[in-house]
Amino acid sequence: MTRVLILGANGGLARNTTRVLLDRTDLALTLYLRAAKRLKNRDPDRVTVIEGDVIDTAALQDAMDGQDVVYANLSGDMARQAESIIDAMHMSGLRRLIFISSMGIYSEVPGEKYRSILDPYRDSAALIEASDLDYTILRPGWFTRDPEGPYTITQKGDPFQGHDISLHSLSRLIAKIATTPGLYVRNSIGVSDR
């Protein structure tokens, strides 16, 4: 059974991805969030809920014990959170990280000029890329509630294609990356609907 630790488990994308991951019977999830009472554990046989802050590296390392994949879906002081994740992963011997960032962090969206709002995403992505982890950074467009459908992936350095991404399509892609060894390892990929 593959064990996935979800950081920032109360976010909209994380909740949707949790649902998608639980469609598979070969996964066990650990949901890590600051206020555990926000989530109801609908499957206690396969889901563990842990209350904690990502910047508490010791607590985060404890949560990583026995995990196979870390999926981080965060906001706030993302550089500090990324440093804590990297440190905790090193201490626990865990290598696989899926990290949600944002389109525009490399000025790769044609015709768009993003300002300081993307600084936390840029800074955290730079720290992760400089690490020795088996990371995948996802740079999605804005989320929509459209049905799942085809999407476009662009590599770092390529112009971003499209603009928005269905929440459902993105969750399916996260699940695919989490359960497919080697897929998009040490890549930063842009994701948008066609």
pLDDT in tens, the chain (194 residues): 999 999 999 999 999 999 999 999 999 999 999 999 999 998 999 999 999 999 999 999 999 999 999 999 999 999 999 999 999 999 999 999 999 999 999 999 998 887 789 999 999 999 999 999 999 999 999 999 999 999 999 999 999 998 899 999 999 999 999 999 999 999 999 999 87
How far apart, in whole angstroms, are the C-alpha atoms of residue 79 and residue 68? Answer: 23
- Alpha-carbon distance of 124 to 114, in angstroms, equals 16
Single pTM value for the model: 0.97
Q: Which fold has domain 2-193?
A: Rossmann fold (3.40.50)
Give the tens place of pLDDT for each residue, 126-136: 999 999 999 99
Residue 171 and residue 12 in contact, taking contact as beta carbons nearer than 8 Å = no
Contacts of residue 90, defined as CB under 8 A and 6 or more positions apart, other chains included, come to none
Conformation bin of residue 66: beta by default, left when phi > 0, alpha when psi is -120 to 50: left
CA distance 55 to 169: 29
